[in-house]
Structure 1
Amino acid sequence: GRCSAGEKCPFIHDPNRIAMCTRFLRGACTLGDKCPFSHDLKPERVPLCSHFQRGLCTKEDCPYLHIKMSADAPVCRDFVEEGFCSRGKQCDKRHVYECPDFTERGECSKPNCKLPH
């Protein structure tokens, strides 16, 4: 996203670490250049293709990552929390939008967690 402090923000924001626009991945983003999220399909910010993981992806131009990953692999916290993982395709964790706490322990302690459980 964008920093709400704008030009007054005292922090340095790395433009390469912007989270992926999930609407863009679904082909539904109408904001174009005005979108605060990335439309750049770099492996560091694109989630795994759930259909590919089950051997069912038939889209030739699928924007999601087609990497074989064990269903038992843990969820990548960097990817979930930052929307970016510098390890990209070399990461041994799953780049998915799931609650890592619930996936690991079967429970989530965050009352307002917006991730799927």
Structure 2
Amino acid sequence: MSRPPTAVSRPPIAGVLKYYYSIDVKQRAGWSKIPCPLHVDSNPSASANTERNRWNCFVCQVSEDSIDIVMREEQLGFREAQAWAHARFSGSGEDVLPAVQGESGRGVHHGPPSGRRSREVHPGVRRFGADWT
């Protein structure tokens, strides 16, 4: 019998962005515009949300939480990044349940924004329950 997943702590996104990229995020409700930490910006093309503990770039089409940043920057797995972040950021932040034990379940998302996904069509393949009569 497997044990239920335990809550994991994520450091605040504002602290992580400040630590790695010297980006100041305004502590307010909703999304705040920030320069993208992954490419040179003349105008801010990214935003961060301290309530959702996420940032995303509209140009790169990247979306991450604070643990995802630590995993990428420190080249660590989820559990190692969680322990590293807990030691570095004093474990402050929100508690979340991972989708899969040992996995963040919220990794970097590349590709078109949601709602604009194109489906690949395979001739002769149909979904279960489709009626071709």
Q: TM-score, normalised by structure 2?
A: 0.26
Richer in strand (by share): 2
Q: Computing the radius of gyration over CA atoms, which structure comes out larger, 1 or 2? A: 2
Q: TM-score, normalised by structure 1?
A: 0.28
Richer in helix (by share): 1
* Greater relative contact order structure (CA < 8 Å, 6+ sep): 2
